[in-house]
Amino acid sequence: MRLIYLVVLALLASPILLMPMAAAASDDDDEEDDETTSREFSFRAGEGVKIGDYRVELISVVSVMDGLIEVKVWRRASDFEDWRVMEDHRDANFDEGAERGGLTLTVIDIFDEETVRMRAEYRSDYGYPQKYVTQRAMAPKNLPKLAVQATVDKTDISAGDEVKVTITVTNTGNDTARDIVVQDSPPLPQFRYLAGYPPKIKNQLQPGESDLAVYSMVAVTVGDVNMPVTVARYADSKSTIYSASSPSISIEIKPKRMPNLVLKVDPPGPIKHGGEGTINVTVENKGDASAYRVEVSAEVKSDGNGLEPVKGNLDKSFFEIPPGESEMYSATIKGSRSGSYAINLVASYQGDGEMMQKETGFEVAVLEREHKYLYYLLIVPVLILGFWLFRRYKEYKY
C-alpha cells in the first residue's frame, strides 16, 4: 500500500522535477533557431515564394544579356518592403540578411526574359518555403509577340520552275513590336532569285497587325532543298529584344520538265498494185511539259515514186501538244508501182526554249501486179493427172 502511495506521489511530483530541465532544453533550441539554411527556386516573372513571413517576388528580367533582374521582397505584418535590381551571381541581403533573421538572395541563372533561378538563404526555423503566383503574373502582359510564317506557292517543282515565297509577320501580342528586322535564309545555291529578295517587313507592327513580303526565285539544280527558318527580331517598349521564327520548308526539285513526243504509226498491210492504203499517225506527248510548234514531216527513202498521196498528207503541224495529250491524223496513199517503200517520219518540236526531234520509220509494201491466169496454171497438172488416171481407169475397165 505504501508502495502505491509512493508511486502516485512520484507521478505527481515528476512535472515539478522536470520543469527546470525543459527550460534548459528551450534555451538550447533558441541557439539552434539562429542557424540558417538555403534553398534554390526557379521563378517566372510574377511568381513568388513564401519563406516564413517574408515574400520574394520576381518582378521581371531586366536584361538577359546583362544578367539583371528586378525582385520585390516584403514582410507580412510589417512595413518592410524592398524593390531591388539584382545582378547575376551576386548576393543581396534583405532585412539585414539571413544572419540577422532576414533573407540573402542570389541570382544563379537567367534562362530567358521570363525565367530565372535563385538561391534564398534564411533561418532554418522559417519552415519549408512555399511558391505562389501573384495577381500581376496572371494579368496579361503588355508585350509584343510576332508570329512568322514562310510559305511557298508550290512544293512540287522541277528545275526551271518559278517559286513564290511569301513571308508573313503578324503581331499576336498586346504591345507594339518595334525595330522589326526579318532575316531570311541566306541565298540558296539551288535557286536563282528574281525579285523581292531580301524580303522587307514594316519596322513596327501594332498588336494584331501583320505585314508580308513576297519574293520569287527559280529552281536551278535538282535535289531536295531544306529552306532554313525565317527569323524576325523585334523589341518591346522597354527595348527588350525578342525573336520569332518560321518553321522550315522542304522542297524537292525534280528534273526539268520536258516534252517527249512519241510517234506511233499504224501502217497499212501490203497494198495491192494500184490499190490504196491508209496510214494512221498518232503524235503523243508523253513528257511533262507542252511541246510547241510541232512539225511532222515524212520522207520516202526508197528509190522511185511508187506511192502517191490520195487523201490527206503525212506532213502535219501542231501549235501545241500539252503533256499527256495526243494528236491523230491519217493519210491515204496509192501504190502505183510494186516494191517495198521505207517511210521516215520526223517530228521536230520546241520545248523549254530548245528544239527537239523525234523520228520513226515504217515500211509500206506494194504487191506485184497479180496475174490471175497463173492460178489456172496450177489446175493444169491436176487436170493432166486426172486425165491420166481416168485414161488408165478406162484402159483397164472392162
Nearer to other proteins, 2 or 394 (CB): 394
- Smallest separation (angstroms) from other proteins to the CB of 278: 52
Nearer to other proteins, 111 or 388 (CB): 388
- Smallest separation (angstroms) from other proteins to the CB of 388: 8
Site string for other proteins, 368-397 (x = CB under 8 A): --------------------xx--xxxxxx
- For the chain, the three-class secondary structure string (H helix, E strand, C coil) is CHHHHHHHHHHHHHHHHHHHHHHHHHHHHHHHHCCEEEEEEEEECCEEEEECCEEEEEEEEEECCCCEEEEEEEECCCCCEEEEEEEECCEEEECCCHHHCCEEEEEEEECCCCEEEEEEEEEHHHCCCEEEECHHHHCCCCCCCEEEEEEECCCEEECCCEEEEEEEEEECCCCCEEEEEEECCCCCCCEEEEECCCCCCCCCECCCCEEEEEEEEEECCCEEEEECCCEEEEECCCCCEEEEECCCEEEEEECCCCCCEEEEEECCCCECCCCEEEEEEEEEECCCCCEEEEEEEEEECCCCCCEEEEECCCCEEEEEECCCCEEEEEEEEEECCCEEEEEEEEEEEEECCEEEEEEEEEEEEECCCCCCHHHHHHHHHHHHHHHHHHHHHHHHCC
Single residue of 5, 128, 319, 398 touching other proteins by CB under 8 A: 398
**Which residue, 25, 159, 166, 30, is CA-closest to 101?**
30
- Smallest separation (angstroms) from other proteins to the CB of 379: 20
- Smallest separation (angstroms) from other proteins to the CB of 378: 21
Nearer to other proteins, 2 or 397 (CB): 397
- Smallest separation (angstroms) from other proteins to the CB of 376: 25
Q: Per rule CB under 8 A, is residue 5 in the interface with other proteins?
A: no
Residues 165 to 204 in contact with other proteins, rule: CB under 8 A? none
- Smallest separation (angstroms) from other proteins to the CB of 394: 7
Residues 258 to 287 in contact with other proteins, rule: CB under 8 A? none
Nearer to other proteins, 342 or 389 (CB): 389
Nearer to other proteins, 83 or 388 (CB): 388
- Smallest separation (angstroms) from other proteins to the CB of 382: 15
- Smallest separation (angstroms) from other proteins to the CB of 389: 6
Nearer to other proteins, 372 or 397 (CB): 397
* Residue keyed to cell 545582378: 87
Nearer to other proteins, 90 or 392 (CB): 392
Nearer to other proteins, 371 or 394 (CB): 394
Size of the site for other proteins (CB under 8 A): 9
Long-range contacts of 75-78 (CB under 8 A, 24+ apart): 77/53, 78/53
- Smallest separation (angstroms) from other proteins to the CB of 397: 6
Nearer to other proteins, 128 or 396 (CB): 396
Interface with other proteins (CB under 8 A):
388-389, 392-398
